Each structure stands twice: as C-alpha cells, then as structure tokens.
C-alpha cells in the first residue's frame, strides 16, 4: 500500500481540520480523548456519558412522547387523515399539530388513527412497555453482586441496568 504524498495529506488536513494519522476526538460530555469511528460519528466515551447527555437534554429538541432527542416531526392527526378531516369540516375538533418526535416513537405511531396528542402519548407508553418488557423485568443488582461478576458480564449487566433506567424515564416522561 502506497502512502499518500505530502500534498494530499496537507490538503486533507486543511479540508477536514484534522490529521490523517490516528484520529482522536474528545467526548462531548467529559472531554476524554477517544478514537474516532470509521463513520466519524462517535461522540461519547461511554454509555454513562451518552445517558448524561440525554438526561440533560442538550443534544436536541426532546420528543414530545418520551423525552429522547427528537429528530423527526410527528403530524397529529396523521397526514393521510387530513384530507378526510377537511372534507367533513372537522378541523376544529381535530386541529392540525406538528410535534417533535424521536424516530422510534414516530415509527411506532405511524399512520394510526389516534387524532389527539393525549391518545398518542398513552399509546407510546403502552407500546414501549410491550416492546421492552424483558428489559423492564431485569432484576436489580447490588454493588456486591456486580463485583462478583467477571469484567465482560459485569459491563453487560451494567449496560442493561442503564438501559432500564433510561427506559423508565422515557415511559414516565
């Protein structure tokens, strides 16, 4: 494999603002140096930093239904039902609203005939409980029990417990 010549390296550094060698970035929460992933999207050094960023809500507008960062728009009532509402003059009973939603909540709701925000929020709570039933049923572990586990199993259990905490916060949003 031939190494790129020096002019190509300099041009890359000017365009991307970083060197070609070992690409290092900082965790956006704690500032710890981490290796950048191939996709260039790695922002956190650990799940704890990712959860902290999510809890503080600094990353995006929160989802109206669960509080996660909302990257999509949910149309209430669904866009497919709007022509029918207009045809029968029901826009006063069912006003057109657009709210921020995370991709999971938006895809769970899809084209369902839930025309009020309260109905949609109630549906999301039930759907999240049903989807993550096994995660919600994880037993609570004491620190002593966790210390008895090996490193790999301990990190797996801790990740599950962290996901359970986040899920409970999403459901209670």
Same-domain status, 142 and 65: yes
Question: What is the span of the domain harbouring residue 59?
Answer: 47-172
Q: Where is average pLDDT lowest: 49-53, 128-132, 169-173?
A: 49-53
Same-domain status, 61 and 37: no
- Taking the C-alpha atoms of residue 73 and residue 49, their distance in angstroms, rounded to an integer, is 26
Same-domain status, 18 and 92: no
**What is the share, in percent, of the chain residues with pLDDT greater than 70?**
77
Same-domain status, 59 and 131: yes
* 3-21: average pLDDT: 52
Number of structural domains found in the chain: 2
Q: Where is average pLDDT lowest: 59-63, 97-101, 138-142?
A: 59-63
pTM of the entire predicted model? 0.64
Contacts of 25 (CB under 8 A, 6+ apart): 33, 34, 35, 36, 42, 43
């Amino acid at each position: 494999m031939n190494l790129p010549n020096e002019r190509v390296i300099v041009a890359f550094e000017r365009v991307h603002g970083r060197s070609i060698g070992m690409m290092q970035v900082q965790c956006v929460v704690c500032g710890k140096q981490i290796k950048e992933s191939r996709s260039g999207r790695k922002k956190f050094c650990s799940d704890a930093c990712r959860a902290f960023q999510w809890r503080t809500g600094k990353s995006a507008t929160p989802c109206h239904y669960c509080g996660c960062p909302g990257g999509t728009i949910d149309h209430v009532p669904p866009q497919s039902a709007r022509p029918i509402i207009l045809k029968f003059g029901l826009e006063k009973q069912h006003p057109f609203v657009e709210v921020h939603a995370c991709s999971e909540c938006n895809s769970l709701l899809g084209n369902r005939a839930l025309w009020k925000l309260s109905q949609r929020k109630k549906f999301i709570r039930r759907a999240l409980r049903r989807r993550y039933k096994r995660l919600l049923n994880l037993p609570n572990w004491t620190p002593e029990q966790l210390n008895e586990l090996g490193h790999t199993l301990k990190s797996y259990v801790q990740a599950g417990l962290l996901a359970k905490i986040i899920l409970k916060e999403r459901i209670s949003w």
